[in-house]
Structure 1
């Protein structure tokens, strides 16, 4: 940068303002590693993207066959238009394939009373699974308190008078019936 500043100070300031990652290879998050291989640095990790084969060592590009963030980053760095990304996606996402998916009519299932169930299927007895609680924590045995209930030790409530601190048996508010 000192050599650039000697030639023209305005160019140095422009390059610094633009950001090193836009013009210096050593600072670029996307590095060409061959004709179609690119290194993408994301959150301190390095990913190798082969844009022509549709691969990335993160594995997401191969699974869904569409460019994920690393592939999109490479395509953006090549100044490609978003409309051109389609050639890097699988044919499964093309309009012709989607139309073919819905080409055949969908046959509705008949009513349950019209089903013809073979006898051996109808006679089969389905048993409950042999369930065994796995080792580890046991479920809580205590009751969960409602939000309206307090955590105080004196949480009894009388069934007759609805006052706290005692129960129906020890209630003194109403006289006992004889």
Structure 2
């Protein structure tokens, strides 16, 4: 029932996309639903941030948006350079298995696994008894019936109890995304500063080009709900004029009407 409801919502969304631009609809369909639609995802996306990352960056650049283009780009570069240096320094000074919040979750799961009983089924499958319930842990597939092992990609408390019983290292059972080595590789390329504007080698056809501001300015913030489902032509196209109910002509209403009543 839930799948059918999601499918109907999805079809309605694609119809709205087609009304705006059919090329966008064709591109999304050719890319494959598993790459952009959560309902068709082939992997667990329980920890994927639902908000757009661009909204978070826009919040940090709220005041910088009033600057000229060059100053704005320089402010963006400095902001990303600060983030790059901060994350690289944090990763280089991290000597634990994971970084930041994932390491705190790993330690908390280890503390919660102290009073659990582990029963071995085979070399990879184990049953863990805790507070009157039984959980099945598979180290080969990195799964647990509590689902925390699969969602967090960090050994849950039940998997921790199995790892301690078998004297296994916890590192191979954690996702590489949370490890300091992966974070170092992500921020290994520094963001270099721009040269002085007077030293730029700008071609003449670009230097002589005059860029005019847009005719209308979009208001900051998210549009109200009543405007989200409207197409571009409905928002910015020519609007219809109401006709007078007294004389039948357009451009005014019956309160400002100076004509006589229309003859039926």
- Tell me whether the two structures share a fold, i.e. TM-score over 0.5: no
TM score, norm. by length of structure 1: 0.43
Higher relative contact order (CA 8 A, sep 6+): 2
Higher fraction of helix: 2
